[in-house]
Amino acid sequence: MMLLLSLAARSLRNRLFISALTVLSIALSVTLLVGIENVRAGVRESFSGTIRGTDLIVGARGGTTQVLLSTVFGMSTPSGAIPWEAYERWSTHPAVAWTIPYSLGDSHRGFRVIGTTASFFERYRFRDRKVEFAAGRAPAGEREVAIGSDVAARLGYSVGSPVTLAHGVAAVSFAEHEAHPFSVVGVISPTFTPIDRALYVTLDGLEAMHAAELADGGGLAMGPPGPARSAATTSSEPAITAFLVGTRNRFETLQLQRDMNEDLAFPLTAIIPGVALGQLWQTLGSAEAGLRVVSVLTVFIGLIGMCVALYASLESRRREMAILRAVGAGPRTIVSLLVLESGMLALLGALTGVALVYIGIAVGQGPVEARFGLSITARALGRTEWGYLALVVSAGTLVGVFPAWKAYRASLADGLSVKL
Amino acid sequence: MIPGAGFPFTGPAVELRDIRFAYRSGPTVLDIAALDVHAGERLFLHGPSGSGKTTLLGVLAGVLLPQTGTARVLGADLATLSGGDRDRFRAEHLGYVFQMFNLIPYLSVRDNITLPCRLSRARRARLRGASADSQAEHLAQRLELGSLLDKSVTTLSVGQQQRVAVARALIGSPELVICDEPTSALDADRRDRFLELLFASCEEAGSALVFVSHDLSLAPRFARTVELGALNRAA
């Protein structure tokens, strides 16, 4: 057995270039297969971690997914607004333990500006952790802003830096609120969630900023007015875009949700984060299944490539087989040799593929996080991934049976006289 | 004789009687009434191409089974052995040298020579306690290959490769060594030296030698010459 392993290894090394190419092709397909599984699990973990501590997310009338995406993940522009008195009514509801109001729609040089209250810094949990400060503190006054770590890094802000906020979410906005400059009072420690890419001001601060702009020259309004602003023009109370709810008792969440959705005075869209995420995943489900099918096919392609390479090598190895037979190796030894060769190639390919997954994660983690706000961390391989690897190695070994059989038949027919 | 018994066989090396052989669906290639090779004898089989010499060697090595007749090699009737048993028999008792391309390209000289002992426990047992490596060194010395043991075989000249093949054939002192035109690729002066070394090593090991070639000028150096054209009625 040791002898066969040694022969197989040396034989592969003798055809180093082809062997390396074969290993690479299997490795790449394994990277795809295992990588997709890994990233998929990582993305789900990342998303659900962001909202695990919240029982309900409430927005103005709109689609469920839209509320989810816009409030927590900062994607897509929110629609509608919730009047303050409606919010107050719910925040004092007996079933509600805490609320965090959000006011969205403003931006600063491409990063979202979110108006909220102190309860955000006290109550919000992501992956069971609190929002903490690397420097400074939460905003309290009208001109104070706390920024996420990405914002600080990208724009070079620190505690004390002046910040001008713009209306709308364009990177360059025509309506700069120059009348109401803010100042950074805190930098939030990295969370690897969309928090890192946002700026946080108080609701008062946001309101004061909009009021100042109105007073300055409302004619500057280019494009559609933000929802919070248009609601503010009709009442003197601030309006918010959405709010998060923590209920006193988990069991009351469902009833509370129904009450909010069916409220006669001002119906809202209240969603249960886990359920909404589940629906989101289901939508993606068929895409994921498609991806998985593609990656399984690439594994097949890699294995077929290996089979082809082994087959092609047989012709030039007929003399080698004859020598082995002359020296006393039976046909079974020859079959074992070839099956071992393909098994070793598959094993090396699988290992290399996994290594590439981790290298890929290490290299791509930063850019993906910056671009999409997704944190892909290196995870240990799960049962599914080990299953895939075992399948690849066994399939690779089995694939070797085909050229091995051919070599067996040829060595019997050739005997000791190989007609070269 | 039981294959794998381990002790050197001292009876006749080869006894063929009424052998007839044809390939799958072809004409009769071998038709031999009788052929004997005695223990330790040096036999020259002279045959041009087409005289069936490669087929005869295949029968002697137990790779090909004749359709009729008895092929007794070292006392064993090869027809009574299964394919696996014949392979093991060959591993233990035979040495074979091809005309050229004798060596496994991805193994060193040393590993090529010791290969039979690593593939067959019975062959290794014939070393009687000595290690395969030390035996390989001894043979390499006798065949003037001493400094080449750890080299890659691709760096060797043809003559050196043939001598390595002889060393491999002789490790473990098999009772029968078969050579299929081993000198055709060598030039004249190397040829003589090769034969000298071959004979000396076979003598030391006590092996019978069956040497096939179309070059009749080599015949005088052998104890006996057999004309394959006369011996093989199908030639």
Strands A144-147 and A198-202, how do they pair? Answer: antiparallel
Interface test with B, best of A3, A320, A325, A327 (most B CBs within 10 A): A327
Angstroms from A16 CA to nearest CA on chain B: 11
End-to-end CA distance of chain A: 30
Using CB atoms, pick whichever of A14, A320, A326 lies closest to residue B96. Answer: A326
Inter-chain touch B123–A10, beta carbons under 8 Å: no
Strands A96-108 and A166-167, how do they pair? Answer: antiparallel
Asked whether residue A345 carries a pLDDT value surpassing 70, the answer given is: yes
Angstroms from A365 CA to nearest CA on chain B: 43
Any B CB within 8 A of A420 CB = yes
Please state the rounded mean pLDDT for residues A116-141.
Answer: 90
CA nearest to A342, candidates A393, A392, A396 = A396
Task: Say if residues A252 and A95 touch (Cβ distance below 8 Å).
Answer: yes
Asked whether residue B3 carries a pLDDT value surpassing 50, the answer given is: no
Distance CA B8, CA B174 (A): 8
Predicted confidence (pLDDT) per residue in A77-103, tens digit: 666 788 888 999 999 999 999 999 988
Any B CB within 8 A of A13 CB = yes
Angstroms from B147 CA to nearest CA on chain A: 22
Any B CB within 8 A of A308 CB = no
**A416: its two tokens:** 């000791």
> Where are the strands (E) in A168-325, listed by range?
182-188, 198-202, 239-240, 242-247, 269-271
- pLDDT, greater one: A224 or A342: A342
Which secondary-structure segment (H or E) carries A359?
A: helix A331-372
Residue in chain B nearest A415 by alpha carbon = B63
Any B CB within 8 A of A16 CB = no
Any B CB within 8 A of A322 CB = yes
Inter-chain touch A327–B102, beta carbons under 8 Å: no
pLDDT, averaged across chain B: 89
Say how many residues make up chain B. Answer: 235
Helix, strand or coil, per DSSP, at residue B91: helix
**A192: its two tokens:** 């690897």
What residues of B are in contact with residue A416 (Cβ under 8 Å)? 54, 57-58, 61, 63, 96, 98, 180
Asked whether residue A132 carries a pLDDT value surpassing 90, the answer given is: yes
Asked whether residue A420 carries a pLDDT value surpassing 90, the answer given is: no
What residues of B are in contact with residue A326 (Cβ under 8 Å)? 61, 90, 96, 98
Strands A133-136 and A182-188, how do they pair? Answer: antiparallel
Task: Say if residues A303 and A400 touch (Cβ distance below 8 Å).
Answer: no
Using CB atoms, pick whichever of A11, A328, A416 lies closest to residue B91. Answer: A328
Q: How far is CA A215 from CA A113, A175, A177, in A?
A: 21, 13, 11
Please tell me the predicted confidence (pLDDT) of residue A118. 92
Please state the rounded mean pLDDT for residues A220-227.
Answer: 46
Residue A73 carries which side chain, given as an amino acid letter? F
Phi, psi of B9 (to 5 degrees): -90, 135
What residues of B are in contact with residue A4 (Cβ under 8 Å)? none
Which band of pLDDT confidence, cut at 50, 70 and 90, is reported for residue A322? Answer: confident
CA nearest to A79, candidates A101, A56, A104, A98 = A104
Which band of pLDDT confidence, cut at 50, 70 and 90, is reported for residue A287? Answer: confident
Q: Indicate the Cα dihedral angle A408, A413, A416, A420, nearest 10°.
A: -100
Which band of pLDDT confidence, cut at 50, 70 and 90, is reported for residue A176? Answer: low
What is the distance, to the nearest Å, from the Cα of residue A168 to the centroid of all Cα atoms in its chain?
Answer: 27
Any A CB within 8 A of B5 CB = no
Task: Say if residues B165 and B178 touch (Cβ distance below 8 Å).
Answer: no
Inter-chain touch B105–A326, beta carbons under 8 Å: no
Asked whether residue B70 carries a pLDDT value surpassing 90, the answer given is: yes
State the Cα angle at A386 between A384 and A391, rounded to 5°.
95
Query: B3-42: buried (b, 16+ CB within 10 Å) or exposed (e) per residue?
Result: bbeeeebeebbbbbeebebeeeeeeebbbbeebebebbbb
Which of A 329-358 lie inside 8 A of B, CB atoms? 329-333
- pLDDT, greater one: A222 or A145: A145
Distance CA A284, CA A274 (A): 15
Task: Say if residues A167 and A226 touch (Cβ distance below 8 Å).
Answer: yes
Distance CA A331, CA A14 (A): 22
Please tell me the predicted confidence (pLDDT) of residue B171. 92
Asked whether residue B124 carries a pLDDT value surpassing 60, the answer given is: yes
Predicted confidence (pLDDT) per residue in B55-67, tens digit: 899 899 988 889 9
Angstroms from A307 CA to nearest CA on chain B: 21
Angstroms from B66 CA to nearest CA on chain A: 13
**B22: its two tokens:** 């044809």
Which band of pLDDT confidence, cut at 50, 70 and 90, is reported for residue A171? Answer: very low
Say how many residues make up chain A. Answer: 420
Asked whether residue A225 carries a pLDDT value surpassing 80, the answer given is: no
Q: Listing from the earlier edge strand, what are the strands of the sheet with B208-213? A: B94-97, B176-180, B208-213, B42-46, B224-227
Q: How far is CA A414 from CA A284, A417, A418, in A?
A: 57, 6, 5
What residues of A are in contact with residue B64 (Cβ under 8 Å)? 415
Using CB atoms, pick whichever of B83, B96, B103 lies closest to residue A416. Answer: B96
Inter-chain touch A416–B63, beta carbons under 8 Å: yes
Any B CB within 8 A of A11 CB = yes
Task: Say if residues A110 and A265 touch (Cβ distance below 8 Å).
Answer: no
Report the range of poorest mean pLDDT among A265-279, B2-16, B64-78, B87-101. Answer: B2-16
Task: Give B110's Cβ-side CA count (13 Å radius).
Answer: 13
**A133: its two tokens:** 């400060």
Which band of pLDDT confidence, cut at 50, 70 and 90, is reported for residue B161? Answer: very high
Which band of pLDDT confidence, cut at 50, 70 and 90, is reported for residue A223? Answer: very low
pLDDT, averaged across chain A: 83
Please tell me the predicted confidence (pLDDT) of residue A169. 47
**A202: its two tokens:** 């108080």
Inter-chain touch B119–A3, beta carbons under 8 Å: yes
Inter-chain touch B98–A416, beta carbons under 8 Å: yes
Distance CA A162, CA A149 (A): 16
Please tell me the predicted confidence (pLDDT) of residue B96. 93
Beta-carbon contacts below 8 Å between A and B: 68
Predicted confidence (pLDDT) per residue in A142-168, tens digit: 889 999 998 999 889 999 888 887 555
Angstroms from A26 CA to nearest CA on chain B: 24
What does the domain layout of chain B look like in residue ranges? 40-62+82-231
- pLDDT, greater one: B176 or A69: B176
pTM of the model: 0.75
Which of B 60-119 lie inside 8 A of A, CB atoms? 61, 63-64, 83-84, 87-88, 90-92, 96, 98, 101-107, 115-116, 118-119
Angstroms from A325 CA to nearest CA on chain B: 8
Sign, CA torsion A23/A24/A25/A28: positive
Interface test with A, best of B53, B60, B63 (most A CBs within 10 A): B63
Q: What are residue B46's DSSP bridge partners? A: B213, B227
Any B CB within 8 A of A1 CB = no
Asked whether residue A66 carries a pLDDT value surpassing 80, the answer given is: no
Please state the rounded mean pLDDT for residues A170-191.
Answer: 71
DSSP code of residue A182: E
Q: At what angle do helices B188-205 and B132-142 cross, to 10 degrees?
A: 140
Please state the rounded mean pLDDT for residues A296-318.
Answer: 89
CA nearest to A221, candidates A167, A183, A169, A172 = A167
Sign, CA torsion B96/B100/B105/B108: positive
Any A CB within 8 A of B181 CB = no
What residues of B are in contact with residue A3 (Cβ under 8 Å)? 118-119
Phi, psi of A257 (to 5 degrees): -60, -45
Please state the rounded mean pLDDT for residues A367-381.
Answer: 74
CA nearest to B91, candidates B64, B116, B72, B112 = B116
Query: Which CATH number is associated with domain B40-62+82-231?
Result: 3.40.50.300
> What percentage of chain B reaches a pLDDT higher than 70?
97
Angstroms from B230 CA to nearest CA on chain A: 23
Asked whether residue B226 carries a pLDDT value surpassing 90, the answer given is: yes
